[in-house]
Structure 1
Amino acid sequence: MNHRPLKPTTATDHSAEPVPDRMRASVIDATGGTDALHILDVPVPSPVLSELLIRVVAAGVNPIDTKTRAGSGLSAAIAAYPATLGFDFSGVVVSAPYEAHPLSPGTEVYGLASFPRTGGSYAEYVVAPSQSLARKPTSLSHVEAAGVPLAALTAWGVVVETARAHEGQRMLIHAGSGGVGHFAVQLAAYFGARVTVTASGRNAAWLRELGAAEVIDYATTRFEDVVADVDVVIDLVGNTADEVGTRSLQVLRPGGLYVLVPTGAWPGYAEAAEAAGLRATSYKVTPDGDVLATLGRLLDSRAIQVYIDSVFDLGDASAAHEAVESGHTRGKTVLRVSDD
């Protein structure tokens, strides 16, 4: 990277370090299998208005990335190819909108890229709006921090803002050992809910350490046979596997709340819930720097933690996608993009 031509700097760039014209990125030229991902030299993005330019140290990999690469997810919104995927990142501010900006050049930050409106985080540099960033938790490495934003913001949105987790509430969380799931379990328990989780048996002890009161091994037990009258179901599976969504309606109390997270996982959930006399909503993550700052304080105080299952180099993004698509990862998968 040091041998690439540098952009000329001016007094108004507010940059911490010289910025090259081009960068390495993991891109797709069209949707397809994991082999569609490949490394390409692309132009470094230029921030506008309230956007910051960040040098990416690590990038998180999420199921929405794999769905988009495969042709579903957000693929219809990709305006042009080659396209750089990715939302999560942790890195260092290179350029801020103005001199007195609170996230000045040199500040370590984590947050979400505005993909697909802009290039994603599978790259050496990314632009992101100020409102989508917060200072990186000091107790976390960049690799750990990159696993937080999308998953933890989603968990906060469904557990805290939508389900309003509170003392005595009975909550069932499906796929509790995944990226969103392991944050959802911790946040629900932190706010006092009694948490029941479905997961593989190998993750039971770990999930209890995170705060789950009960763990149901989905391979050996039908959850509807042992759970009833819960207040909220957080469904991170839907009807893509074993009719988990439909079965979840059976275990809710009258008037209970069903929250569906995965995109396209059960198109008919709203009608089915209404017919059963239940409330239901889907959820889409909302970038929020203030919530990221709150999550950062919880992480630094060890009230919650992030678990990184595996780390791949940027050039191995295809292998990272394969790992996520296997459905057997615990916590988060992360790409190491550059040196800390």
Structure 2
Amino acid sequence: MKAIVYQKFGTTEVLQIVEQPKPAFKSDQVLIKVKAFSINPMDWKIRKGEMTLMSGSKFPKYTGADFAGIVEDIGPSVTGFKKGDEVFGVVKNIMKEGASAEYVVLTSSLIWKKPADISFAQAAAIPIVGTAAMTALEKMGTIDAQTNILINGATGGFGMFLLQLLKQRGANVTAVTSSKGMAFAKKWGANPVIDYARENVLTSKATYDIVIDLSGKMGYKNARQIMKPKALFLNPTPKPIEIPLSLFKNLFTSQKHIVMLSSPSTKYTAILLGALKNGLEIEVNKKFPFAGYKEAYEYAEQGGYIGKVVVEIS
């Protein structure tokens, strides 16, 4: 089979397609023919060597975490799935494994049946950002129409899920996005919507109970200017040093810096599938063929697009 690997840290130029044996599977595992995998910021953070404390420096390394495909075969102890099922899922350890291959093997706890009314590309976009959005909701605690929430960088994959999940819960959300993202932010439930090129949210008079920075550009220090005295700052893209520092600083301030670390689960996925039935949309901004994988990663790393970027395997 063909798989994308890299033998050293670096730009997209270190990525290469290699031939590997089709993976063997154990009694509790499922062999899946991959039809699509999505691109997430963690992919290039690991590849650039920014996460070596967690990823290590042993090569080869792989890329791609969430995917969708068709069950090719199952181990004898697997229940709930059969050959031919359309599924989506996520690799167990994104620091060590990858889904950017023609076949993947996982335990059945890491895959779920794909709804018939969404494409493989849309399904592949669910696990990582959907889980992150669910984690954010849990960190927010009890929210209602009186809770003022600001989402900075609101129309990428993460924001796409979070905005719509908050809308389904009746939350009061302000979104900061680009001019081309404004219509999407409004459709997905934000009001008001701020064009960051025209207005600096940090200089506004509005203050918020919860600020979540999906762009990674605002930071807790800046966000404190627009946070209420007992507000939360949710940080889904922490630098390694911020994890212990936030815990220490939170002992001395009522404006809490909450580092988010998320892990896919059947509980979260069930809620996300329920949200899909209630109208949650999945916007795939651009699809690339497997042979165009370098172009796909280069496009994704530039940012500024709406929704998710997906690579399809024919």
- TM-score surpassing 0.5? yes
Q: Cα distance, 1:317 vs. partner?
A: 1.7
Counterparts of 2:250 and 2:37 in 1: how far apart (Å)? Answer: 36
Q: Cα distance, 1:151 vs. partner?
A: 0.7
Sequence identity (%)? 28
Partner of 1:140: 118
Task: Report Cα offsets for 1:166-221 as digits up to 9, x if no partner.
Answer: 32121111110111111111111111110111111221122101100111112221
Partner of 2:39: 61
What is the TM-score normalised by the length of structure 1?
Answer: 0.84
Select which of 275, 299, 308 maps to 1:323. 299
Structure 1 residue 187 and structure 2 residue 162: aligned? no
Structure 1 residue 277 and structure 2 residue 247: aligned? no
Give, as a single letter, the amino acid of the residue that structure 2 aligns with 1:234.
Answer: I
Report the CA distance shift for 1:215/1:272 in structure 2 as closer, same or farther (over 3 A).
farther
Select which of 297, 305, 323 maps to 2:281. 305
Structure 1 residue 262 and structure 2 residue 262: aligned? no
Counterparts of 2:187 and 2:7 in 1: how far apart (Å)? Answer: 43
Partner of 1:88: 66
Asked whether the equivalents of residues 28 and 84 of structure 1 are also in contact (C-alpha less than 8 Å), the reply is yes
Structure 1 residue 196 and structure 2 residue 171: aligned? no
Give, as a single letter, the amino acid of the residue that structure 2 aligns with 1:255.
Answer: K
The equivalences for 1:159-238 within 5 A come to 159=137, 161-164=138-141, 166-168=143-145, 169-226=147-204, 228-238=206-216
Counterparts of 2:44 and 2:263 in 1: how far apart (Å)? Answer: 19
Counterparts of 1:70 and 1:118 in 2: how far apart (Å)? Answer: 14
Report the CA distance shift for 1:266/1:218 in structure 2 as closer, same or farther (over 3 A).
farther
The alignment partner of 2:20 has SS state of strand
Counterparts of 2:169 and 2:182 in 1: how far apart (Å)? Answer: 21
Give, as a single letter, the amino acid of the residue that structure 2 aligns with 1:288.
Answer: S
Partner of 2:8: 30
Counterparts of 1:226 and 1:171 in 2: how far apart (Å)? Answer: 14
- Aligned residues: CA RMSD: 2.2
Extract unaligned runs of 5+ from structure 1: 1-22
Q: Cα distance, 1:269 vs. partner?
A: 4.7
Extract unaligned runs of 5+ from structure 2: none
Asked whether the equivalents of residues 249 and 276 of structure 1 are also in contact (C-alpha less than 8 Å), the reply is no
Asked whether the equivalents of residues 237 and 245 of structure 1 are also in contact (C-alpha less than 8 Å), the reply is no
The equivalences for 1:329-340 within 5 A come to 329-338=305-314
Report the CA distance shift for 1:224/1:118 in structure 2 as closer, same or farther (over 3 A).
closer
Report the CA distance shift for 1:188/1:227 in structure 2 as closer, same or farther (over 3 A).
farther
Counterparts of 2:114 and 2:12 in 1: how far apart (Å)? Answer: 30
Partner of 2:107: 129
Partner of 1:246: 221
Counterparts of 1:43 and 1:194 in 2: how far apart (Å)? Answer: 51
Asked whether the equivalents of residues 133 and 288 of structure 1 are also in contact (C-alpha less than 8 Å), the reply is no
Q: Cα distance, 1:294 vs. partner?
A: 2.6
Greater displacement, 73-82 / 175-184? 73-82
Counterparts of 1:151 and 1:270 in 2: how far apart (Å)? Answer: 24
Counterparts of 2:170 and 2:83 in 1: how far apart (Å)? Answer: 39
Give, as a single letter, the amino acid of the residue that structure 2 aligns with 1:166.
Answer: I
Counterparts of 1:75 and 1:319 in 2: how far apart (Å)? Answer: 28
Task: Report Cα offsets for 1:224-245 as digits up to 9, x if no partner.
Answer: 222533111112133xx3x443
Task: Report Cα offsets for 1:36-90 as digits up to 9, x if no partner.
Answer: 1111001222333533221110001001001111111368525642222111100
Counterparts of 1:326 and 1:266 in 2: how far apart (Å)? Answer: 25
Report the CA distance shift for 1:166/1:173 in structure 2 as closer, same or farther (over 3 A).
same
Q: Cα distance, 1:101 vs. partner?
A: 0.4
Report the CA distance shift for 1:293/1:277 in structure 2 as closer, same or farther (over 3 A).
closer
Counterparts of 2:66 and 2:277 in 1: how far apart (Å)? Answer: 19
What is the TM-score normalised by the length of structure 2?
Answer: 0.91
Counterparts of 1:100 and 1:277 in 2: how far apart (Å)? Answer: 48
Partner of 1:11: none
